Structures are given as structure tokens and as C-alpha cells.
């Protein structure tokens, strides 16, 4: 069965610092990987999506993620954190076995940004 | 607002009572998903519909849970004889098309507290 691990339930960075949120998936290579973001009192919003077309994927708000098959990882990065980036970030791999497109989510990482 | 809406946003009930939640997907989205999210965890898949047909149910969905989408538009999720373990955020999402990895658009969720 497909599974995903997000290392670090809480990550705190200073404003302007690099953001790195980690996501590792189970060994069977998924054809799709998603990062979702959840701002306070809002629904989950798609941040970016990997679809095998390119290993480096750019998303909204300056975020990007790189698919690394050798490391079974899809870490999320942003060069310079803004206060508005404070939110919950959730990684979700897709699989041809997830009929109907249901998503298997990681446990999430809460990002705090200090001024 | 043309996003996914969920009602109520909050529900407090006593153990043993029945509750019903409603989800209105984005107009003309043929797929509708229900997820459950507990504190500190990522969302877990419960069930999904393609139009009015319920195509998959998670093993998490006990006999006390039932979901419907009678006309292929809005959906309801009912929990009978609620238990304290049912306390969670219930999320609804919708997507268009029949591809398994189209973007899912999430509603703000219904937070259930069972006393």
C-alpha cells in the first residue's frame, strides 16, 4: 500500500530564511505527488503537483519541489520565507492503485515564520 | 463564492446522537470525496462518489457512517450513534473529469465534537 512520511510535525524558520519541508513516499514509484497547503480557517489548497513531466515542479507563492526517485523524496522548498507562509503543509502521493483519485496524505508539517 | 461549501462549520453533539453534514461541491464537478482529519494527522480518505454512485468506501467507514449523493450534486454524511472517537474535522472535496489525478478542491470542513 502507498504510504508517505513527513519528517517534522513543526518547522520554524525566520522571515527571509530558506524553507525546507520533507516528504518521503513508499518505495513503489507513484506517478503523481501533491503538496497541499492549509491556511488557518481555510480549506486545503493545491500548492503544486508532480506528474512525471519534469522532476522540478514550481507551485504557487514561490514554492517548488523536486522529485528524487533515488531518495524516494519530494521535498518542498522556498528560498525566502514570508510571514504569510505560516500554515500547515501536507504531502500526498498518488498511485495508479488509488482508483478514483483518492489521496493518501502525510501527517502534515506546521510551518511557523518568525519575524 | 463558487468553491466547495460545507455545513455546518462546527457541530457539538452528545455521545449517542446522530449528526448529518452537508457538502456542496463546485458546480458540475462529477467527483466528490469525504476525508476525516484528526488533530496532528493528515486527512484520511473515507469515501468517494462519481456522480451519484458511491464507488469506494474506506474500512474507516463503519456501519454507523453513511454517505449519499442522491442527484449527483450535493452530498450528505451521516453518523449514527456518535462516539467520542468520531470527533474530528470532516473534509469534503470535489474534482472534475474522470482522470484519477485531477486537482481536488477542498471545502473548509465541518468540525465535529462529541461530548
CB pairs under 8 A between A and B: 72
A102 CB neighbour count, 10 Å cutoff = 23
Higher pLDDT, B60 or A78: A78
Summarize pLDDT for B47-105 with one digit per residue, the tens. Answer: 999 999 999 899 888 899 999 999 889 999 999 999 999 999 999 999 987 766 778 99
Secondary element (H or E) of residue B77: strand B75-79
Q: Tell me the pLDDT of chain A averaged across its residues.
A: 88
What are the chain A neighbours of B44 within 8 Å (beta carbons)?
105
Query: Which member of B44, B55, B108 has the closest CB to residue A43?
Result: B108
Nearest to B108 among A32, A42, A100 (CB): A42
Residue A106: its chain B contacts at CB < 8 A? 42
Q: Mean pLDDT, to the nearest integer, of B32-42?
A: 92
Distance from CA of A1 to the nearest CA of B (A): 13
Note whether B74 and B12 are within 8 A (CB): no
Amino acid at each position: 500500500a502507498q504510504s508517505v512520511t513527513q519528517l517534522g510535525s513543526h518547522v520554524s524558520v525566520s522571515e527571509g530564511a530558506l524553507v525546507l519541508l520533507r516528504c518521503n513516499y513508499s518505495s513503489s514509484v507513484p506517478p503523481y505527488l501533491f503538496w497541499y497547503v492549509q491556511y488557518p480557517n481555510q480549506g486545503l489548497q493545491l500548492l503544486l503537483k508532480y506528474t512525471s513531466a519534469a522532476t522540478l515542479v514550481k507551485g504557487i507563492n514561490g514554492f517548488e519541489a523536486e522529485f528524487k526517485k533515488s531518495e524516494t523524496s519530494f521535498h518542498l522548498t522556498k528560498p525566502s520565507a514570508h510571514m504569510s507562509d505560516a500554515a500547515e503543509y501536507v504531502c500526498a502521493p498518488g498511485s495508479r492503485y488509488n482508483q478514483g483519485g483518492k489521496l493518501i496524505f502525510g501527517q502534515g508539517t506546521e510551518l511557523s515564520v518568525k519575524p | 463564492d463558487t468553491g466547495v461549501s460545507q455545513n455546518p462549520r462546527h457541530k457539538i453533539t452528545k455521545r449517542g446522537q446522530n449528526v448529518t453534514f452537508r457538502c456542496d461541491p463546485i458546480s458540475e464537478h462529477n467527483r466528490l470525496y469525504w476525508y476525516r482529519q484528526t488533530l496532528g494527522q493528515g486527512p484520511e480518505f473515507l469515501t468517494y462518489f462519481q456522480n451519484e454512485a458511491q464507488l469506494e468506501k474506506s474500512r474507516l467507514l463503519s456501519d454507523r457512517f453513511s454517505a449519499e449523493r442522491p442527484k449527483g450534486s450535493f452530498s450528505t454524511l451521516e453518523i449514527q450513534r456518535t462516539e467520542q472517537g468520531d470527533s474530528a474535522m470532516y473534509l469534503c472535496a470535489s474534482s472534475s473529469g474522470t482522470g484519477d489525478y485531477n486537482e481536488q478542491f477542498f471545502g473548509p470542513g465541518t468540525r465535529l465534537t462529541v461530548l
